[in-house]
Chain A
């Protein structure tokens, strides 16, 4: 792949004795929509959390837009990144959380405008305009003054998506965005994500258990197992003709 926007180069991540990522090599192209599937504990979410700088790494290099994420160029090679460097790099990334993680004491509107005003320095009016557009996009234009607890899980997650988009990231990370939802609410969230995937050149990285959805929206699907990519390919290849036994077993287990 030439000029990937995200690149993991032999990345190692450990939690104590447990190796979560084992010299992971992984790339995502500009504007690409990539789904990550795999069993629990295979390191899928960790990939996103490392990119969002919520987890550090023990080895290897992660680059975003050609610049190392967890390192800085020093006089004698790479050195660990400072908080200022992480702050700068984070502006390119946004994240949608499994549990939504909205701020419960703020209205929907304030949830979306807080960071654009305080971090990007937008005026309140600009931020409000941007938030209203985004609420329109996720179908919640009439809910701006409500508090998160007054919304359904599906609505909360759509606010979560609007909040992440308000920072205009280049890459949007979805960490199992529908896993915490009641089954009947999954559809409305997937619709929004699907529309985003279709209409925007945003790079999207999606960890999900929704196989049919992954198949619909992805340019590429990666099957993670034991801290590595066991198999990857177009949705067609991976879902209809998996090469590896492990992939076949997993798909059989989740699709039945």
Chain B
């Protein structure tokens, strides 16, 4: 019994049906971790991108070093660091929050590059045209650069959304009860791993397909009249 659900081991089909509700609870945790981690990655990534683009090296340099450091160290190391080291300094966060934060921080290093590339891909001549028309730098950014950068950014961000989703099981090592962890516990209790782990694979496939379709839908809906997308 787990979360008050009993399992039925009379046949593989009955077993699968009986543990589906438990796995769905785990899946809901996975989805929450994905969404929160993605939001953290989007927001923090934008912060990095802006800092890295700063005209002063005293700002841009530390941001570059930090993102490089984050990108070049494993997610698991960062996760352990947040989970085991921070409490030594009195910062105790729930496992779920620590995990999503680690995910978001890791991926912010990648999303910052997507923002940077998207913004830099807006041709120099667009900036010159805006300057010749006397538009202010702020107005140029919000009305000339951003609308042309967004359609370039969305597909890449969609890929990271799926990647984050697939990295959520890493959080199981700090006791987060996401879907894989739940399946493993069920397996431990029943000595049958085949059915729960196969179901995790299947459910993951459904989630990633839905997420990808969502991104494609958003991408198709975005106006990109004549913006050279390369």
Contacts and interface: CB of A to CB of B under 8 A. Distances in A.
Contacts of B131: 52-54, 90
Contact of A99 (B125, B133, B225, B226): B125
Contact of A105 (B132, B134, B136, B223): B223
A72 interface: no
Contacts of A70: none
B132 A54 contact: yes
Nearest to B144: A103
Interface stretch (A134-142, A143-151, A235-243): A143-151
A120 to B, nearest CB: 8
Given A99-B125, A101-B126, A104-B148, A150 B226 contact: yes
Contact of B225 (A95, A118, A149, A167): A149
A119 B129 contact: no
B133 A167 contact: yes
Contact of A97 (B129, B134, B135): B129
A114 interface: yes
B173 interface: no
B129 A103 contact: yes
Contact of B135 (A54, A94, A114, A147): A114
B134 A119 contact: yes
A102 B129 contact: yes
Contacts of B167: none
Contact of B125 (A91, A94, A101, A164): A101
Interface string A164-206: 1001000000000000000000000000000000000000000
B140 to A, nearest CB: 10
Interface in A48-68: 52-54
Interface in A87-118: 87, 90-91, 93-95, 97, 99, 101-105, 114-115, 118
A163 interface: yes
A4 B144 CA distance: 35
Contacts of B139: 118
B155 interface: no
A132 to B, nearest CB: 18
Given A114-B133, A118-B135, A163-B133, A105 B227 contact: yes
Contacts of A147: 225-226
Nearest to A110: B143
A148 B226 contact: yes
B135 A115 contact: yes
A146 to B, nearest CB: 10
A114 B225 contact: no
A52 B133 CA distance: 10
A240 to B, nearest CB: 35
B166 to A, nearest CB: 33
Contacts of B147: 105
B88 to A, nearest CB: 49
B132 A95 contact: yes
B128 interface: yes
Interface centre among B126, B133, B226, B227 (most CB of A within 10 A): B133
24 contacts: A52-B132, A54-B131, A54-B132, A87-B134, A87-B136, A91-B134, A97-B129, A101-B126, A101-B129, A102-B129, A103-B126, A103-B144, A104-B228, A105-B148, A105-B223, A105-B225, A114-B133, A114-B135, A115-B135, A118-B135, A118-B139, A119-B134, A149-B226, A164-B132
Interface of B: 125-126, 128-129, 131-136, 139, 143-144, 147-148, 223-228
Given A53-B131, A87-B134, A115-B134, 6 more contacts: A97-B125, A103-B144, A105-B226, A115-B135, A119-B135, A167-B134
Closest 4 CB pairs of A and B: A149-B226, A101-B129, A115-B133, A104-B226
